[in-house]
Homo-oligomer: A and B are copies of this chain.
Amino acid sequence: MARFRINILGCGSATPSLRHQPSSQVVDFRDNLMMIDCGEGTQLAMRRMKLKFSRLSHIFISHLHGDHVLGLPGLLSTLALHGKTGRVTIHTFPEGIEVLQKVVDFFCREPGYEIVFEPVSYDGGVVYEDDALTVTAFPLYHRVPCVGYIFREKAKPRHLIGDMVKFLEIPVSKLHGIKLGDDYVKPDGTVIPNDRITTPPDPSVSYAYCSDTLYDPRVAKAVEGVDIIYHEATYIDADMQKAHDRGHATASEAARVALAAGAHRLIIGHYSKSYENEDRHLAEAEAIFPNTILANEGLTVDLL
Contact = CB atoms under 8 A, between A and B. Distances in A.
Contact of A99 (B14, B70, B71, B106): B106
Contacts of A102: 99, 102-103
A70 B103 CA distance: 10
A249 to B, nearest CB: 19
A181 interface: no
Contacts of A16: 41, 43-44, 47, 74, 78
A81 B14 contact: yes
A65 B103 CA distance: 12
A64 interface: yes
Contacts of A70: 73-74, 77, 107
Given A77-B66, A107-B66, A40 B71 contact: yes
Q: Which of A15, A48, A65 has the most CB of B within 10 A?
A: A15
Interface in A33-74: 40-41, 43-44, 47-48, 64-67, 69-71, 73-74
Interface residues of A, number: 30
A221 interface: no
A285 B106 CA distance: 35
Tell me the interface secondary structure of chain A in the complex. helix
State the copy count for this chain: 2
B82 A15 contact: yes
A41, A44, A66, A67, most chain B CB atoms within 10 A: A66
A103 B99 contact: yes
A17 interface: yes
Contacts of A74: 15-16, 40, 66, 70-71
Contact of A103 (B43, B82, B103): B103
Interface in A95-134: 99, 102-103, 106-108
Interface of A: 14-18, 40-41, 43-44, 47-48, 64-67, 69-71, 73-74, 77-78, 81-82, 99, 102-103, 106-108
10 contacts: A14-B78, A15-B74, A16-B44, A16-B47, A16-B78, A18-B44, A40-B43, A69-B107, A70-B77, A99-B102
